[in-house]
Structure 1
Amino acid sequence: MRLTTKLVLSATGLTFAIVFVLSSMFVGELLRQRIEQTAEANDVLAREVVLMTRQAVETGLRANPPADMTDEALHAAVTDALRSHQPLADVMKGIIRYSKTVQDVSVTDAHGLTLVSTDPDALNQQATYRMSLESVREGSILYQARQVFGKQRLLDMSQPLERNGMPFLVVHLGIQSTFLRSTYVPWLKKAMFVALAAAFLAMAAAALLANVALQPIEQISRQLEHLTLRAAGPQPLPGPDSGAHDAVVRVTKTIDRLGEQMRSREEGYTALQANLDQMLDTLRDGVLLFTADQRAVMVSDAVAYFLNEPEGDLVGRRLEEIFEPETALGAAVLEAFASGEPVSAEGVTLEDGRQVQISLDRIDDGLGGSGNMGTLLTLRDVESMMQLGQELEIARRLAAIGRLTAGVGHEVKNPINAMVVHLELLRGKLAGREGEMFSGAQRHVEILSGEMQRLDRVVQTLADFSRPMELKLREQDLRQVISSVVELTAAEMRENGVHVTAQGPPDPVMVRVDPELIRQALLNLLLNGMQAMSEGGQLWVRTHRDHQFAVVEVVDEGKGIPAELLPRIFELYFTTKPRGSGIGLAMTYRILQMHGGAMDVRSNADPAAADRGTTFTLRLPLASSAAEVRKGVAAGAVRKG
C-alpha cells in the first residue's frame, strides 16, 4: 500500500473516531435530557394524585369521622375515604389511559400497604420494591442506557403526603422501562442517523482534504530530486519495489540523500575552517576580509597587534568601528577603501615608529562585471618580515650543518678510532724503554692521545646534533617546567650572585611538548644569562599567553650582544665566550623548531643604556591550538578517505 494512501486512511480513521466519540456524547446527552423530561412530567402527575388524595381524605373524614381516636380507626376511615372518592379514581385512571410511560398508580400508607391502586390485585397488599426513577435520573449515561434499554423493569416515582412532619400516605407511579424504550427509540434512531451521516461526511471531507494537502508533496519531490541530481549527478533508476510512485517515499529518500550530501560538505567545511583558523592564528600578518558593505567576516588574531589593543571579537564590526581615522593606520586604511582601487604594499609609519605595509585586494563577483563581493585587507609588519627572513636563514644554515655533520661524523670517526688504536700500540712499545729519545717520544704520544680525545669529543658533538630526536609529547603546564629549571639552577645562581625571578599567570599554561627537551632549552638560556652577568645581577623568566601561543621571556642584565653579532648567535659553534662550545643556542633553536615554535632575541650592548642586556623570547603553541590543528587534519583525512 502506498504511503500516501496510508496517510489518507489514517486521517480518515482519526476523523471517524473523533466524530464517533462526539456523536456518542451527543446521543447520551439527549438520553439524559429525555429521562429528565420524563421524570419531571411524572413528578407533575404524582403531585396531582397527591392533591386529589389530600382532598379525598379531608372530604371523607368530614363526612365519616373515625369512631374513636385510635390509629386503627383513623386508618380505616382514611381507607374508606380514598376508596369512596370518585375524583381520585378518575384521576388515577386518566393517568394510566393517557400517559405513555405509566403502568400503574397506587396510594400506600406509611408502612407500604396499598390502600388504593389501579391494579385490583395490589389492594391490601404490601407494595413490592421498585428502583427509583430519580436514581436513574442522577446516574451516568451508561447506567441510564442499561436501565432503559436493558432487562425489563418497573421504575417508581413517589410523592409523600405528610402529617405532623412525617409521611402519612405515599403516592406511587409505576413506570415501565419498556414504555420508556418504545418512547425513546424513534428519536434515538433519528439522532443516530444524523450522527452517522455526520461521521461519514466528516470522513469524506478528511479524505478529500488529505489528498489536497498531499498534492504539493509531488511538486516538492520533483524540486528536491532536481536539487539532488544537480548536486550529485545522475542517479540509478529506482527498482519496482523502491516506492518510486509514492511521492512521500520519494521525498523522504531525496531528503536523506540531501542530508548525506550536506553532512559530507559540512565535514569538508569543518576541516577547511580548522585549517584556515590555524593558518590565521599562526600568521604574523593581519588579515581581514570585509563584505561589500564593509563589515568584517574574517579576522586573524594578529590584527590586535597592529591596532595596539587587547584581543577582541572584531568579526561582524564595520570598517569604521575597527580603524579609527585619528590614527595613522586607520587613516591610511580608510583612504585606501575610499579610493576603490587595489593597493599593494603601501608603507605606513605608526605612532610607535613601526613600519607597516598595507595591501588591499578587491574580490569581484566573477561574472565579468563591476560587482564587488568583498575586500581582503592585509597588514604586514616590516620588522617581522625581516625577522622571519633571519629565522629562515638560520633554519637553512642549521639544516645544511646537520647534513654536513652527519657525513663528517661518519667519515672522521673511523680514522680517529684507528689512530687511537695505533697510538695505544705505540705507547705499549715505548713503555719500559729508557733514554732521552724514548722519553721525548712518550711525551709526543701523550700529546697526540689528548688531541685525539678532544677531536673525538668534537665529532661526537657533531653526531649528537645531527642525530634525529624522538619527541615524547604530552600536555604539560609550562609553569611547572620553568619552576623545575629555576630550582635546578638555584644553587649555581646563588654562587654567582644572580637572583632569578619567575613571573607567570595564575592559571595553567598548557602546552604539548617533550618536557625534557624544553627543560634543556630553558637551562641553556638561564646558564647563558648567568654567564653574561659575571658580577651578578637580576635574571627574569616571564611567562604569558599571546593569542594561540605560550611565550617565555628570559631577560638578563648582562653586557649584551653587539648588533653585528646578533644574526650569527644561533649558528653552530659560534660563540663569544672563551670556553664556550657554540652548541647551546643552536640546540635550543632546534628544539623550539621541532615543537612548532619559534625563538628570537633582542639585545642592547650600550653600557650607558638603562635597558642594557639580552632578552630571549620562546613561543610554543598552546595545547588547545595544537588539538584543533590535529582535529582539522584528521577530519580532512577522513573526508579524503
Structure 2
Amino acid sequence: MNLQAKLTLWYVVLAVVIVGAISGVDLANNMQQQFESTLSRAETLKLVAAKFVSKTLNSQRTRTLPEALSDPVLQNDLLDLLGKPILEIAVVDPNTSEVLADSLPEHRGDKSGPFPDFGDLVNHASWYEKWKVLRGNDRQQYQLEEALGTRPNRTLLAVRVIILPALISRDISSTMTQNAQVAVLSVIGAIAITFLVSAVAFRPLGHLRHQLDLIARGEYEPEQPAADKPATDELSVIASKVSMLGQRLRGAQYEVSDLRGNIDRLLQDLEDAVFIFNRERRLVFASGSVEKFLGKQRADLPDQSVSDVFPPAATLGLLIAQAAQTGRPIRNRRVPLRSPGETASGLSMVLLSVDLLETLPGGANAGSGMLVRLRDPEAQRKLGRELQTADRLAAISRVSSGVAHEVKNPLNAILLHVEVAKSKLAHGDTEIQPQMEIISREILRLDRVVKTFLDFTRPVELKLANVPLQELMGEIVELARPQADAAGIRVNVEQQAEGAEVRVDRDLLKQAVLNVVVNAMQAMPEGGDLRFEAVADEDTAEIRISDTGGGIPPELRDKIFRLYFTTRPEGSGIGLAMTFRIVQLHDGTIDFTSDLGKGTTFMIRLPIAV
C-alpha cells in the first residue's frame, strides 16, 4: 500500500470516527431529552391524577374509601390520562401495594410494585444505563409516586404512575434513522473530499516518484523550470532539489564511468596480474596480463568467485583462500603457479601479494574487498636491477655535483697565468717563472681532483656477509670511543636490534658509519653527547647517529653529500660523499634531521639479511 492510499484510508477512518462521535453525542442528547420529556409528563400526570383522586374522595365523603375509589368517573379520568410511554396510573395502598383504583379496571385488587423510581433513572443514570433500559428485553417498569392522605407515621394512599421506558425507543428510532442517514452522507462526502484532496495533493509526489524512478534507472533528464513559475510551495522546492540531485547523480555516474574506464585501461597496461574482488569474493576487475599468468581470457573472469579463479587444490589458491579467511596480507611470497600434477607452460613461479581492501567501487558490493597481485620474479629482478642502476647514477650525479667547481677553479687559475706569461713574453719579458710555478701547482691540484673522482666512481667489489647488527654497532662504538673521550664527548648506546642481521661489506660499512661519527664529533668542539642507536623490524635495519652540536643551516642541507663540499678549512669534502656511495652500494638509504642549536641525527637504513 502506497503513501497516498495509507493517508486516504486514515482520513476516511478519521472522518468515520468524527461523524460517529458527533452522531453518538447527538443520540445521547436526544435520548436524554426524551427521558426528561417523559419525566416531566409523568410528573404532570401524577399531580393531575392525585387531584382527581382528591376530588373524588371529597365529593363522596359518605362512602367508604374502597367504594369511593371504585367510582366509574374516576376510572375514566385515569384512563384518559394514559399515553405512551405511560403504561398505567394506579391508586394503591402503599403499605400493601394493593391496587384500589386503576386506569385499567382489571388490575383492581392486584398487587402493583413498588418499581424503581423513574426520576433517579433520568437524573442519575449514565447514558449507557439508559441505553440498556431502552434496548433491554426485560421490559423493566419504573414509577413516580405521589402520597395522599398522610397521617403521622403512615400514608393512606399513593398515586403511582407506571412508566415503561422501552416505549421511548420508538420515538428515538426515528431520530436514530435521521442520524444514521446524516452520518452515511457525511462519511460519503468525507470520502469523496478525501480522495479529491489526496489526488490534488499527491499529484506532485507522483511526479517526484516518477523522477526518482528515472534517477534510479539512470534515465533522468533534468527538466528546465519555467521562468514565470518560481518554486514557492514546499513540494515545488522538493521537486527542484530532486531535479538538482538527478543532475548531480548523472554527473557522478559519468565520473564513475570515466573512473572505471581509466582503471580498466590502467589494469590493461600493467605487467603484473592484478585481481580485485568485492566483499562477496567475486571478481570486479582484472588486469590485461591475466592470460599470461593463468592462461584464461580476461573477458571470461568477471563475477567469478575466488575459488573459480584460483582453485584451492593448487598452492596458490590455498594461500589466497587462507588470506581471505584470516584477513592477513601476503607480501611477495614466492609460490608455484600451478599444482604439481598440472603440465607447466610459461611461468612456473610467481610472487604473490594479497591485500584486504576497506572500500571498493561496486555499489552494493562495496565493503571489505581483496586485491591479489601476481608478479613475474624474473621481471621483478630485472626491474630491481634497473632501479638500482638509476639510483646509483642519481647518487653519483648528486655527490659529484661539486666536481665541476673543483675542476673549474684550477683551470681558471691556469688560464689566467698562461695569459700573464703570454703577455710578458710578448713584451720581451722572459721572467715567467712565478706563473709557471702557479700553473704547475694548479695542474697537480687538478690531477688530485681527477684521481679522487676516479677513485670515487671506480666499481667496488663488495665482500658481502651476514653480520649481526648489534655486533657491528659494538665494533663501531669501540673504534669511536677513544676519540670521543679525548674530546670530552659522552657516548650513549641503545640497541633494539637483537637477532637482526644485515648483509654488508663489514669494513666498508664501518668506514661509512665512522665518517658520520667523525663529523658528529667535529660538530661538538666543546663536548656534548654522542648517541648510537640500532633498531630493526621485519624488513629494515636502521643505524642512528645523533649529536648535540650546532646543527646544519638550512641553506647547506642540500649540499652536504656533494663530493668536495666542506665547511671546514681543513676538510676534504670526501667523507660524507663516500658514506653516501657506500650506503647506496648496499641498497640502503641515508638521511638526516637537524635543528639549529640542538644537533643533528643521521639515519642509515639497510635491508635485513634474508
TM-score by length of 2: 0.39
Higher relative contact order (CA closer than 8 Å, sequence separation 6+): 1
Bigger CA radius of gyration: 2
